[in-house]
Amino acid sequence: MSDATDFDYTLDERQIAMLDAMGIRVFQGEISDQKEPFARMESAQNAIEKVANTIPSKPVVAAPVIPQAAAAPAPTRPQATAITLTPKPEGIERMGWAELAATVKDCKACGLCQSRKNTVFGVGAPPALEGEAPQVDWLIVGEAPGENEDIQGEPFVGQAGKLLDNMLAAMKVSKEEAGKPKGLKRTENVYIANVLKCRPPANRNPSPEEVAMCEPYLVRQIELLKPKLILAMGRFAITTLTGSNEPVGKLRGRVHTAADPRITAPIIVTYHPAYLLRNLPDKAKAWADLVLAMQTMKTIKVL
């Protein structure tokens, strides 16, 4: 019986030419010289099996057993840097905007700090004074940074963000400017933040502990931003702000008050843009929610 270690992977010229014609590239060097030895061996093994299957006149080559890893050096994994978690910072409820932003940047209160590339504090209209909170009528609250947001340190910069920007642009909230009614724009007249400031690995759902650690940051942001209206997008933002666990479909269509008494702005709930990308027919409902938000804002402004 053939031993696993003495299997000959060498192909003759005819076999290589045939594989080449089939679009299969075969590695013919020293396997141990290569970075991904297992992948290389597998492809040679698959290639041999394919040759055998395409030449009926030849005896079928028995599938070789892949040599044990013992012969090859163990693959090295990048070492995770150990980060010591620290208690949730004190006095968040008294912090000013700049201190709050710096505290979030340094936060190690939950395990998400181990895997994040960047914290994602928020983005929005420029403040009147450097280091102070922008004063905005509109606040959008999403769930948590995804991969692109983690890399760029800004909320909603991926596909869901493009949809959000389009939804905001469609909300013509102010009088015509140079012949055009003005919509909402992340750099001008709105603020966008998330419940979580760090990305959950592989975009998994935020855990209740993570939300509990991060929520004081959002509450303080809202106190300082003083929005006139909050648009909560998706289940996590809605539950965090309203305290209700009901599905979005049951909560939309009316104005909510926040569970936390420090948040006084009314809340309109709607679907998360990432959900809308997967459920296009619900875009019409989301638009109805945005219309409700615009009507609600009008009544607030006249009051």
Task: Write out the residues near ligand URA by the rule CB under 6 A.
Answer: 142-146, 149, 155-156, 160, 194, 274
Residue type at position 178: A
Residue 156 or 217 with smaller CB distance to ligand URA: 156
CA distance linking residue 156 with residue 165, whole number of Å: 9
Nearest CA to 252 out of 229, 264, 273, 235 is that of: 235
Widest Cα–Cα separation across the chain: 89
CB of 201 to ligand URA, least distance (A): 15
> Closer CB to ligand URA, residue 95 or residue 160?
160
CB of 149 to ligand URA, least distance (A): 4
- Closer by beta carbon to ligand URA, 66 or else 277: 277
DSSP string, 237-249: HHHHHH---S-HH
Which tokens is 28 given?
A: 């013919």
- Are the C-beta atoms of 183 and 173 separated by less than 8 Å? yes
Please report how close the Cβ of residue 141 comes to ligand URA at its closest, in angstroms: 8
Which run of H or E residues covers position 194? strand 190-194
Q: How far apart are CA 103 and CA 231, in angstroms?
A: 25
Q: Please, which residues have CB within 8 angstroms of residue 5's CB and are 6 or more apart in sequence?
A: 67, 71
Using Cβ positions, the residue closest to ligand URA within the complex turns out to be 142
- Between CA 274 and CA 158 the distance in angstroms is 10
CB of 269 to ligand URA, least distance (A): 14
Q: How far is the CB of 187 from ligand URA (least distance, A)?
A: 16
Nearer to ligand URA, 44 or 104 (CB): 104
Residues in contact with 227: Cβ distance below 8 Å, sequence separation at least 6, in sequence order: 136, 137, 138, 139, 191, 265
Beta carbon of residue 243, minimum distance to ligand URA (angstroms, whole number): 19
Looking at the Cβ atoms of 48 and 163, the one nearer to ligand URA is 163
3-state secondary structure of 124: strand
Smallest gap from residue 123 Cβ to ligand URA (A): 9
- Cβ atoms of 168 and 287 within 8 Å: the answer is no
Q: Which is nearer to ligand URA, 37 or 145 (CB)?
A: 145
Q: Which is nearer to ligand URA, 48 or 274 (CB)?
A: 274
Please list, in sequence order, all residues whose beta carbon lies within 8 angstroms of the beta carbon of residue 238, skipping any fewer than 6 positions away.
Answer: 232, 244, 248, 251, 267, 269
Find the helix or strand (DSSP H, E) in which 192 lies. Answer: strand 190-194
Number of residues assigned to the chain: 303
For ligand URA, the closer CB: 44 or 120: 120
CB of 66 to ligand URA, least distance (A): 41
